Copies of this chain bind each other. A is one copy, B any other.
Amino acid sequence: MALSPARVRIYEVAQAAGVSIATASKALNDTGRMAEETRQRVRQVAAELGFRPNAMARALLSKRSFTIGLLTNDTYGRFTLPLMAGVSEALVDEGVSVFLCTIEDDPQLARVHVDALLDKQVDGIIASGKRIDRRLQVDLTNLSIPVVYAFTEGPDDAVRLVSDDAQGAREAVQWLRGLGRRRIVHVTGPGSFASVQERTGAFREVVGPDGQVLFGNWSEAWGHEAVRRLWQASASQPDAIFCGNDQIARGVCDALRERGVSVPAEVSVVGFDNWEIVAAATRPPLTTVDMNLKQLGREAGRLVLALARGEAVTPGLRKLACQLVVRQSCGGGVT
């Protein structure tokens, strides 16, 4: 997708002509209804700016609505908003807008919203959610427009994107080992979550099958409780704690400090999520795994647009790499 930097986009034509993108598209394709004066103005502006749609774009331009629908049941926005930012970033240069529609878990109401998106003739739908192992409560197969599943479960033969939880966990634990830590414990959320299973599996791949894992919930309070249990046990205490999310890690750091255990001097702590509001405010600020949701959104946007253009996209699950963000909770920040 290397583009000449000087390439003129249709939204620039639309803005220069003072019309919407869809109107500009129709004017240039000689479709739709509008005043002849408008059509001429758009064409003149396009010519002046040197707008040259490529062959495929020209063929498909007239069918498109320049809108992508983003469906999610993540009403808190923790996962969906970074993803949406990525989708927007990927598509805005193409003059495509993203409309987010939140659906609750009521299938009947979910259907109302999907119908509304279809009615608006969006060019495609990105389905997202708050768990990678749950489907939205609405059937998106057999729609007349393409659907990409990002950070939610989807049919096997669909285009699906998730963060690579195992790779992210592996990097975190290898980082701890690289710092010389040998008694690493994993404190995480409920064992029923696929992401918990993935991360736990990767943890034990690195430290060995007997690696200690404490399952609980996703809260700070659980981080406190886990430290209490670990430090009450008679066995030797860990020198590193890899946490399933940043909230747990924050609880762990607070609990250790209150016991007089120094982080990172005596114990290294790693979080997961890189949720700025939690990770940056923790004392010390958390080294944590970022799921790169913005990048996931960018890729989802790119793929749904390719599908909308009729390009071939291989179906199946794509796992995108996570990235370790190093702050102060492990030491080793300067490499």
Which residues of A approach B to under 8 Å, CB–CB? Answer: 11, 14-15, 20-23, 65-67, 69, 75-77, 81, 84-85, 88, 92, 95, 97-102, 108-109, 111-113, 115-120, 219-221, 247, 277-278, 281
Closest to A111 in B: B15
Establish whether residues A220 and B281, one from each chain, have CB atoms under 8 Å apart when the complex forms. Answer: yes
Number of copies of this chain that the complex holds? 2
Question: Could you tell me the distance in whole angstroms from the C-beta of A155 to the nearest C-beta in chain B?
Answer: 22
Q: A109-B92, A281-B219, A281-B221 are in contact. Are A120 and B67 (CB under 8 A)?
A: yes
Neighbouring B residues of A277 by C-beta, 8 Å: 247, 277-278
In the complex, how many angstroms separate the beta carbon of A118 from the nearest chain B beta carbon?
A: 7
Residue on B with the closest CB to A81? Answer: B77
Known: A66-B116, A75-B85. 8 other contacts (CB 8 A): A21-B119, A76-B81, A77-B81, A88-B102, A92-B112, A98-B101, A99-B100, A99-B117
Please, which residues of chain B bring their CB within 8 A of the CB of A84? 102
Whether A21 touches B120, Cβ cut-off 8 Å, given contacts A101-B100, A102-B88, is no
Q: Closest residue to A69 on the B side, CB-wise?
A: B99
Q: What are 28 residue pairs bridging A and B, where the CB atoms are less than 8 Å apart in the complex?
A: A11-B112, A14-B112, A15-B108, A21-B116, A21-B119, A22-B119, A65-B119, A65-B120, A66-B116, A66-B119, A67-B120, A75-B85, A77-B81, A81-B81, A81-B102, A88-B102, A92-B109, A92-B112, A95-B112, A97-B116, A97-B117, A98-B102, A99-B101, A99-B117, A99-B120, A120-B120, A247-B281, A277-B278
Q: Give the shortest distance, in Å, between A272 (CB) and chain B (any CB).
A: 16
Chain B residues positioned under 8 Å from A109 (CB to CB): 92
Contact: A116 with B219, CB < 8 Å?
no
A249 to chain B, nearest CB (A): 13
Q: State whether A23 and B119 are in contact (beta carbons under 8 Å apart), knowing that A76-B81, A85-B102 are contacts in the complex.
A: yes
* Complexed CA–CA distance, A288 and B205 (Å): 45
Contacts of A22 on B, CB cut-off 8 Å?
Answer: 116, 119
In the bound complex, how far is the Cα of B57 from the Cα of A330, in angstroms?
A: 63
Among residues of B, the one whose C-beta sits closest to the C-beta of A221 is: B281
A21 touches B115 (CB 8 A): yes
Flag if A115 contacts B14 (CB, 8 Å). yes
Task: Closest B residue to A106 by CB, please name it.
Answer: B92
Closest chain-B Cβ to A30's Cβ sits at a distance in Å of 18
Q: Cβ of A98: which chain B residues have Cβ within 8 Å of it?
A: 101-102
A97 to B: closest C-beta gap in Å: 4
Q: How far is the CA of A247 from the CA of B282 in the complex (A)?
A: 12
Q: Contacts of A115 on B, CB cut-off 8 Å?
A: 14, 20-21
User: Bound state CA distance, A278 and B220, in angstroms?
Assistant: 10
Residues of B with C-beta under 8 A to A21:
112, 115-116, 119
Q: Which residues of B contact A278 (CB under 8 A)?
A: 277
Residue numbers in B under 8 Å from A20 (CB-CB): 115-116, 118-119
Contacts known (A23-B119, A119-B20, A120-B120); A112 close to B100, Cβ less than 8 A: no
